[in-house]
């Protein structure tokens, strides 16, 4: 293999292909079995040629030239939901944001139950049994497992890509509404002559 096809693919490239396969599934181009099979092959792919083989019978969305190892520019290329050029997701802070989304609810609840324990201990004038450990322990263990598996599986990047895709859809919807309103106002401004 020569050229880009023989180059090693990055996790961002695998995620972009997985997103494109998900779009194809939602559009009805792939059935669930074929989607699952291709998705497994996408995450096992080593080169760009392996990834491109999964998309050959699907309409193009992202040119293969634009999926070259992107984190150098500080952004991660993603498949645009509307076709054309890829969307850009900021690379920095993606993991920190995901960790915050996973852990902040836990920390808030933990602060509340410890406060309740402290207030009841103060009101009773003795240190009561530290029951917040029953809230913190099991939930914390579940979050540790979720954090480790999420980081190993690239969950922060996938969530950032999905978030950016939703933003793009909203922007496109707003643009369509503006165009429709502009078209309606143009029709009102130019009355048709009566028969």
Using CA of residue 50, residue 52, residue 54, residue 56, what is the dihedral sign? negative
Q: Is residue 18 part of a domain?
A: yes
Indicate if the pLDDT at residue 142 is higher than 60: yes
> 160: number of CA atoms within 13 Å, CB side?
25
* pLDDT, tens digit (0-9, with 9 covering 90-100), for 13-45: 888 888 888 888 888 888 888 888 888 898 888
Q: Is residue 194 part of a domain?
A: no
Q: Is residue 189 part of a domain?
A: no
Are residue 36 and residue 64 in the same domain, yes or no? yes
Model confidence at 63, pLDDT cuts 50, 70, 90, reads: very low
Are residue 117 and residue 139 in the same domain, yes or no? yes
- Residue 180 vs residues 98, 144, 176, 177: alpha-carbon distances, Å: 37, 49, 6, 5
Q: Is residue 192 part of a domain?
A: no
Are residue 102 and residue 139 in the same domain, yes or no? yes
How big is the CA angle at 50 (ends 49 and 54), to the nearest 5 degrees? 105
Q: Is residue 15 part of a domain?
A: yes
Contact 49, 9 (CB under 8 A): no
Burial class (CB in 10 A: 0-12, 13-18, 19+), 47: middle
Are residue 33 and residue 53 in the same domain, yes or no? yes
Higher local confidence (pLDDT), 162 or 80: 162
Alpha carbons 65 and 52: distance in angstroms, whole number:
11
* pLDDT, tens digit (0-9, with 9 covering 90-100), for 97-137: 888 888 999 999 999 999 999 999 999 999 899 999 998 99
Secondary structure string (H, E, C) spanning the chain: CCHHHHCECCHHHHHHHHHHHHHHHHHCCCCHHHHHHHHHHHHHCCEHHHHHHCCCCCCCCCCHHHHCCHHHHCEEEECCCCCCCCEEEECCCHHHHHHHHHHHHHHHHHHHHHHHHHHHHHHHCCCCCCCHHHHHHHHHHHHHHHHHHHHHHCHHHHHHHHHHHHHHHHHHHHHHHHHHHHHHHHHHHCCCCCC
Give the per-residue pLDDT at 61. 55
Are residue 167 and residue 107 in the same domain, yes or no? no
Residue 98 structural domain: 94-153
Model confidence at 66, pLDDT cuts 50, 70, 90, reads: very low
Number of domains comprising the chain? 2
pTM: 0.44
Are residue 55 and residue 85 in the same domain, yes or no? yes
Q: Is residue 174 part of a domain?
A: yes
Are residue 170 and residue 74 in the same domain, yes or no? yes
Are residue 7 and residue 79 in the same domain, yes or no? yes
Q: Is residue 106 part of a domain?
A: yes
Are residue 19 and residue 39 in the same domain, yes or no? yes
Indicate if the pLDDT at residue 147 is higher than 70: yes
Are residue 162 and residue 136 in the same domain, yes or no? no
Give the per-residue pLDDT at 31. 85
The rounded percent of the chain whose pLDDT value lies above 70 is 76
Q: Mean of the per-residue pLDDT values for the chain?
A: 79
Are residue 43 and residue 129 in the same domain, yes or no? no
Q: Is residue 193 part of a domain?
A: no
Are residue 75 and residue 111 in the same domain, yes or no? no
pLDDT average, residue stretch 149-155: 87
Give the per-residue pLDDT at 133. 94
């Amino acid at each position: 293999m020569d050229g880009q096809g023989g180059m090693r693919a990055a996790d961002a490239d695998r995620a972009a292909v997985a997103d494109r396969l998900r779009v194809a599934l939602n559009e009805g181009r792939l059935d669930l079995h074929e989607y699952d099979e291709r998705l497994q092959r996408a995450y096992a792919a080593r080169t760009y040629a392996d990834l491109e083989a999964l998309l050959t019978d699907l309409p193009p969305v992202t040119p293969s030239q634009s999926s070259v190892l992107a984190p150098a520019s500080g952004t991660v290329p993603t498949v645009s939901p509307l076709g054309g050029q890829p969307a850009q997701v900021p690379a920095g802070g993606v993991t920190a944001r995901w960790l915050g989304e996973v852990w902040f609810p836990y920390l808030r609840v933990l602060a509340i139950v410890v406060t309740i324990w402290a207030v009841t201990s103060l009101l009773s004038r003795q240190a009561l049994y530290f029951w917040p450990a029953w809230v913190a322990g099991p939930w914390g263990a579940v979050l540790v497992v979720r954090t480790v598996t999420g980081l190993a599986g690239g969950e922060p990047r996938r969530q950032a890509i999905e978030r950016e895709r939703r933003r793009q859809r909203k922007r496109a919807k707003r643009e369509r509404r503006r165009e429709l309103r502009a078209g309606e106002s143009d029709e009102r401004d130019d009355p048709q002559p009566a028969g």
